[in-house]
Structure 1
Amino acid sequence: MTLRTCLFIGLSLSCICFANAQQDFTQYVNPFIGTSNFGATHPGAIAPRGMASVSPFNVAGDDTDLEKDSRWLSNPYVYENSFLTGFSHVNMSGVGCPDLGVILSMPTTGALETDHLRYGTTYKNEIAKPGYYSVELDNGIKTELTASTRVGVSRYHFPAGKANLLLNLGLGLTNEHGAVLKFNSPTEVEGSRMVGSFCYNNAESAYPIYFVARVSAAPENFGIWDKPATYNGVEAQWMTYNGKTRLKEQFMKEVVGDSIGAYFNYDFKEATQVTLKVGISYVSIANARENLDKEVGASDFDAVYAETKKAWNDKLGVVEVTGDDRDDKTIFYTALYHTQIAPSILNDANGEYPEMNTRKTKHTGGTRYTVFSLWDTYRNYHQLMSLLYPQEQLDMVNSMLAIYDENGWLPKWELNATETFTMVGDPAAVVLADTYLRGITGFDVQKAYKAMLKSADTREANPLRPGIGEYIDLGYVSYDSHIKGPVSTTQEYNIADYAIARLAEALGDKKTAKRFDQRALSYKKLYNKKSGFLQPKMGDGSWYEPFDPLAGANFTENPGFIEGNAWQYLFMQPQDIEGMIQLMGGNQKFEAKLDALFKQGQFDMANEPDIAYPFLYNYLPGKAHKTREKVDELIATYFTNKPAGLPGNDDTGTMSAWLVYAMMGFYPMTPADPGYTLTQPQFEEVIIHLNPQFYERDALVIKNERSRESEASGTFSLNGKSLSTKYVDHKTWVEAGEVIFK
């Protein structure tokens, strides 16, 4: 049976109130999702957008397992690994390159051992929740982890007998040299650790992370190590002056080096709990101490976790879903959880943060964000933040503009106030335009516009758009330019130019809008009708030979494309879908080519350039059911309630954002075009609680009254008026009140 598919939006719906304050949304989050299959997430404890996080660190391997673990360098934890060497306090989640994973604590029993391959241990009975992780180590110690925004808190359940608590500054995910460690008292250590070699491509930009660590129980003995030597603090003489314990005689309380650490020795008469609190800062040790005092202070482990759990419930409760399938709820809320990890907060509790590149201390009146993986996130992530967390998105945009003020350029792939220059394109321009066009206008749009035009038109010494002169003159980046992925780069520049055109249009700059609209279509110069693909071209206009559309899959080298092949980039013209259909010969030929992409196994769900392709069927008359069928299939295949439940790298929440949108039943197809293409929700009902400071209504209710097994096709209707396309603009969507899929 073919049912009529309808969409009703009730603009007259009165104010709706939903009491979700008592719901525990964290019960539906499984932080182990994405810890396998190269998802690069970790199950450790973190607060929403936390600077600090405490994660189990199991990628150092034991001496028989180093080869296996050497593959997993972009994250501190992999589900299949089984040898744990500590708990790192500064980590990233869902990234494809290594960095951070530093300041490791580790509880041990017996005699003091400072070699991680000797004190490391296997483990069992892991539990992970938002803001909480626990594990039973096979050395007899149960460990619990939680965190506030800038402080990691660990609770160790030691058995009776000799024990140690270690703080290792030598381990990490990359190989920067340099750490400093100093005892202030038998229970407090401060110091710093160098990091910053993201993807191993910018070692000269290494920078310090500062910390202050405190233990709750005074040790029997304490000291430092600088391999292979150890130095005992108890043999030194201490004195009390004005209520503070200080060294009377030096015992080498401070050490500078690479393989260094601190230890606290205990001899417990009975089972004892010891709490470790570690404050983090990118500015100074003084700020790390202030973060520790302000956010945690004397609060115990349970109080810190309770506060962080509440923060997570506040974030997750922005969306309520109704349905009987608990796994569906779990993969949905875990995806929403993953979107709230990065970008993360860079500024300290006092508002200070390091300036871009110079690392001079500056002060923000709001929130300064970092970890802008923009090649990934410009496609769907920031659109989702604009909808669900508009204040966060506004703060992110203002952070990007502050980076422009400090650096002279918008960010490309910024990490902790350094530019990594990872991937291609000019993605910040897309994010700025898209945010403004969705009605989030509380930033200096003229500054943003100026910054966008600078990167789009500067021909010389342009770090954001290499090859821009040739692109302007020829309409494409040539193979002769020796710029990696010239076809991909051209496509990315086209998308950024489209965004500039849309913002120019909104600002009344018609001349500039026309110029960039023309530039945004230059991908057509790389389309070879004979092969049916976009292909690299030489500077003289001839085609690069030999051409293999399959080359470049699975991250192998390709002369034209970045992290993909010609199939996976073929349809990446979201700014010109109708033009692309005509270029390929019309609806039937376009559909056949799109079908072939999926049938021949060339679609890569883990690859950002093609993640919007399932929704392209909506743009073909009578084929919208294929979008629904393909989205359902992809969710069932690649997103599961298992450690391997992501299709690959989460890319700082981009894959998770795709899933959140897909399960809610709509998707932002074209960056800088504030609208959505529609499909079927995966739940009976979805309630989006809108921020009243940004949106007129306080909620959008999406009801699904259509059978998932139906073969429904047909038209949508909006307020009883039939729509010729399955597209709704953002303003209409957020003002709808109620949407019904029938």
Structure 2
Amino acid sequence: MTKYFTILPFLIYCSSAFAQDYTQFVNPFIGTSNYGATHPGAVLPAGMASVSPFNVAYKKGDGNVFEKDSEWHSRTYVHENNFLTGYSHVNLSGVGCPDLGSILLMPTTGKLELDPEKYGSTYRLEQASPGYYSNHLTKYNIKTEVSATMRTGISRYTFPAGESHILLNLGLGLTNETGAALKIVSHTEIEGYKLIGTFCYNPEDVRPVYFVAKFSRPADKFGAWKKMPEYTAEAAWTTYNNIYKPYNGYSYEMAGENIGTYFSFQTREGEAIEVKIGISYVSIANARENLEKEQPAFSFDQTAAKAKSVWNSLLKRIEVQGGTDDEKTIFYTALYHILLHPNIFQDVNGDYPLMESSGIGKTNGNRYTVFSLWDTYRNLHPFLSLVYPELQSDMINSMLSMYKESGWLPKWELLGMETNVMVGDPATPVLVDSWLRGIKDFDIDQAYEAMKKAAITTDGNKLRPGIEKYSTLGYIPEGAYDNLWGTVSTTLEYNISDWNLAQLARELGKNDDYKYFNKRALSYRNYFDKFSGMLRPRMSDGSWLTPFDPKAGANFEPVVGFVEGNAWQYRFYVPHDINGMIKLVGGSKKFVNELQRCFDEGNYDMANEPDITYPFLFNYVKGEEWRSQLKVRELIGKHYSNTPSGIPGNDDTGTLSAWLVYSMLGIYPHCPGDMSYALVSPVFDKVTIHLNQKYYPGERLVIQTEKNKPGDVIIEKVKLNGAPYNGYFIDHQNLINGSELLFKLKGH
């Protein structure tokens, strides 16, 4: 099966000058294999709605295996699969747990079939570009095309002559909730809602997503269906599609598990029917208003063209010159993935669900959701602060609104629900890093109050379980808390948050808080075991956990003391105190040898966050910086490519993509809250980052590279604004004043 992405033509602006079309360098199929968990569907930057092909329910040719739960599918689409059962309209990109992937439309022809295992179809001729996806269903000879606005999706199905159907399945999806309600309003309209939630199988997180679907022509016939329990299979009515019972002409409200509707048509050869769906997390009325405001007419081509234009307006914030087409494609596709989440949550009228509540709030700006902060605090949010500070500002204000509404900052927030997935207090470094970089249009006093509450509250602390022992012993002992995941990992996360809070306290003149939190940020040293050279779990009496294998826990295998990693992958995860870690392990030479050993012995995991900064840590040792330059370029070549498997693992809502973008630029934020970037060799000849002058004094940041031959990756010299620059770290302030950074590279 051939899969490709559309190469779109250059745009001609009214000035008659040719402007670069950056969408031509986005391949939405990157990350759809190798558990990257992205999808190639149509979506806008931060879009609430998205329309994705759904091919993970059944795998034809392999015993018709139902896959979603058996393979822990957290994505709607896997490149190797080829059996489509519909197009979902609410989706997540790059997450590790299943949810959403719901409100599925599916066109069919011939005899009406309601069982997705039977009505699903293989497909060919896939195309995808920002805001557009298309394929051809081989079973039905139907061309399918989809696009989206911020809160709506639109589909265009081109049918052959004969009996044709469009099915709306509310039972199938990634969410573990199957409940829904619907009503056929007319021959051209359906309304209802679908329950979603239980992210990572958390039973407390359930919320409805409302929808209104409108068709471009009236149905000749319509009806509803529901999937009946297996034990009724011998009942008289089972002649109707096994256990899928149809209700022909049904126009009352229907509610229950695994329900859906069908609209049937007698189509002419080549007749196109469009379906547009508005969504809302507030009400059916708001879903209808979203649809009417964003897509008042049926105009698929216009919607797709607008989507492309919106993507171009953000992608062109960074202009690259030089490099191969494949390098440009992996760069701009990573930038595309960075801009998918967090996404907006409010309707066109400003309504949104309050955090941890059934109440409704109203906002004048953008309210964001989907904060996978354990992942994104490390690099994605610092990247947004540099390149898209106006977006980051709205996200920060959304986080503070969540605090006002629920009493706590978010940890892993999804659709106004706190999932409590992962560990640590990741909101704190996001807030502090943003403020220190220059985003200051939020209430810093309220932010400080919220962060300090998480840092000192000992009773009922929803963000920092185990803080009692952490505060008194300086570490979290093994076995002290029944439901605490990874004592060492959790302590290290609290350390980085405390260090960030200390930096902000110093900035605000709160000197006592600065001293307290800065000292507590170094408590990781209580885990340092001189014998093994590792950070090792220990017990309440101070004894070490025994037995202890530093390599146990690789490849996401559970291990005592650590979260999604092992002692090797957390060995150097103290980004705020690498110089202190160098002393602990025995000096610079020993540190370099052990860090190199981490890579040489296969202990480094490119696909997960705990060791994501390690390639840049050689910059801390004078004379060894070349190792970072070689290692980063090696990792780019090994793990990133213009292929479906071109992301090394779960993109984690853009975190692995942010690593790539920064690395190709030649700068990396090695520690949130630290305003310096580690320098490595850039990939492109010239990069221009257009700065937002509302936040930064400079108009642009230019990064240029000179080299003698294509393979040169070692930094020979660096110049800043024409003057020699010494060192392999550079301050954020030096880059936002309209600066030019020049790298001269040589061979190794």
What TM-score do you get using the length of structure 1 for normalisation?
0.93
Q: Distance in 2 between matches of 1:394 and 1:56?
A: 32
Counterpart residue number, 2:168: 167
Counterpart residue number, 1:455: 454
How far is the alpha carbon of 1:267 from its aligned partner? 1.3
Counterpart residue number, 2:238: none
Closer/same/farther in 2, CA of residues 296 and 711 from structure 1, 3 Å limit: closer
Counterpart residue number, 1:657: 658
1:34 is aligned, of 31, 35, 58, to 31
Counterpart residue number, 2:420: 421
Counterpart residue number, 2:204: 204
Per-residue CA deviations over 1:578-632 (Å, capped at 9, x if unaligned) read 1111111111000000010000011111110111100001111111111110010
Closer/same/farther in 2, CA of residues 68 and 283 from structure 1, 3 Å limit: closer
How far is the alpha carbon of 1:275 from its aligned partner? 0.2
Closer/same/farther in 2, CA of residues 118 and 710 from structure 1, 3 Å limit: closer
Q: 1:102 aligns to what SS in structure 2?
A: coil
Does the Cα contact within 8 Å between 1:622 and 1:714 map onto a contact in 2?
no
Q: 2:153 aligns to what SS in structure 1?
A: strand
Counterpart residue number, 1:229: 245
Taking the TM superposition and a 5 Å limit, the aligned residue runs for 1:428-507 are 428-482=427-481, 483-507=484-508
Counterpart residue number, 2:281: 282
Counterpart residue number, 2:734: 732
Q: 2:610 aligns to what SS in structure 1?
A: helix
Counterpart residue number, 1:635: 636
Q: Are positions 1:562 and 2:563 aligned together?
A: yes
Per-residue CA deviations over 1:307-357 (Å, capped at 9, x if unaligned) read 111000001000000114000000000000000100001001111100011
Q: Are positions 1:51 and 2:67 aligned together?
A: no
Per-residue CA deviations over 1:366-405 (Å, capped at 9, x if unaligned) read 1000000000000000000001110100000000000000
Closer/same/farther in 2, CA of residues 711 and 299 from structure 1, 3 Å limit: closer
Closer/same/farther in 2, CA of residues 727 and 177 from structure 1, 3 Å limit: same
Counterpart residue number, 2:340: 341
Counterpart residue number, 1:307: 306
Taking the TM superposition and a 5 Å limit, the aligned residue runs for 1:283-298 are 283-298=282-297
Q: Distance in 1 between matches of 2:726 and 2:441?
A: 34
Counterpart residue number, 1:105: 105
Amino acid at match of 1:88: S
Amino acid at match of 1:735: N
How far is the alpha carbon of 1:504 from its aligned partner? 0.3
Does the Cα contact within 8 Å between 1:622 and 1:713 map onto a contact in 2?
no
How far is the alpha carbon of 1:658 from its aligned partner? 0.5
How far is the alpha carbon of 1:252 from its aligned partner? 4.4
User: Please, what is the CA RMSD of the aligned residues?
Assistant: 1.5
Q: Are positions 1:666 and 2:682 aligned together?
A: no
How far is the alpha carbon of 1:268 from its aligned partner? 1.6
Does the Cα contact within 8 Å between 1:224 and 1:253 map onto a contact in 2?
no
Does the Cα contact within 8 Å between 2:212 and 2:279 map onto a contact in 1?
yes
Does the Cα contact within 8 Å between 1:20 and 1:317 map onto a contact in 2?
no
Counterpart residue number, 2:121: 121
**Is 687-696 or 450-459 further displaced after alignment?**
687-696
Counterpart residue number, 2:71: 71
How far is the alpha carbon of 1:193 from its aligned partner? 0.2
Q: Distance in 2 between matches of 1:570 and 1:328?
A: 32
Closer/same/farther in 2, CA of residues 191 and 230 from structure 1, 3 Å limit: same
Q: Distance in 1 between matches of 2:701 and 2:152?
A: 36
How far is the alpha carbon of 1:737 from its aligned partner? 2.4
Q: Distance in 1 between matches of 2:714 and 2:52?
A: 46
Does the Cα contact within 8 Å between 2:699 and 2:738 map onto a contact in 1?
no
Q: Distance in 2 between matches of 1:534 and 1:552?
A: 14
Q: Distance in 1 between matches of 2:283 and 2:335?
A: 32
Q: 1:725 aligns to what SS in structure 2?
A: coil
Q: Distance in 2 between matches of 1:393 and 1:65?
A: 44
Counterpart residue number, 2:89: 89
Q: 2:297 aligns to what SS in structure 1?
A: coil
Q: Distance in 1 between matches of 2:703 and 2:26?
A: 22
Amino acid at match of 1:587: S
Q: Distance in 2 between matches of 1:19 and 1:718?
A: 35
Amino acid at match of 2:160: P
How far is the alpha carbon of 1:734 from its aligned partner? 1.2
Task: Tell me: higher relative CO, structure 1 or 2? Use CA pairs within 8 A at least 6 residues apart.
Answer: 1
Q: 1:391 aligns to what SS in structure 2?
A: helix
Count, aligned residues: 707
Q: Distance in 1 between matches of 2:67 and 2:299?
A: 38
Amino acid at match of 1:89: H
Amino acid at match of 1:169: L
Does the Cα contact within 8 Å between 1:47 and 1:149 map onto a contact in 2?
yes
Does the Cα contact within 8 Å between 1:715 and 1:726 map onto a contact in 2?
no
Counterpart residue number, 1:140: 141
How far is the alpha carbon of 1:716 from its aligned partner? 4.0
**Is 591-600 or 215-224 further displaced after alignment?**
215-224
How far is the alpha carbon of 1:177 from its aligned partner? 3.7
Per-residue CA deviations over 1:427-459 (Å, capped at 9, x if unaligned) read 000100000000110000000000000000001
Q: Are positions 1:158 and 2:174 aligned together?
A: no
How far is the alpha carbon of 1:174 from its aligned partner? 2.5
Q: Distance in 2 between matches of 1:722 and 1:457?
A: 45
Counterpart residue number, 2:3: none
Per-residue CA deviations over 1:667-718 (Å, capped at 9, x if unaligned) read 0011111221111110000000111211111111111013453474566454
Q: 2:264 aligns to what SS in structure 1?
A: strand
Amino acid at match of 2:379: N
Amino acid at match of 1:76: T
How far is the alpha carbon of 1:255 from its aligned partner? 0.5
Q: 1:85 aligns to what SS in structure 2?
A: coil
Q: Distance in 2 between matches of 1:321 and 1:462?
A: 46
- What are the ranges of 5 or more consecutive residues in structure 2 without an aligned counterpart? 1-14, 228-243
Q: Distance in 1 between matches of 2:270 and 2:364?
A: 46
Q: Distance in 2 between matches of 1:651 and 1:293?
A: 33
Amino acid at match of 2:683: Q
Amino acid at match of 2:705: N
Q: 2:409 aligns to what SS in structure 1?
A: coil
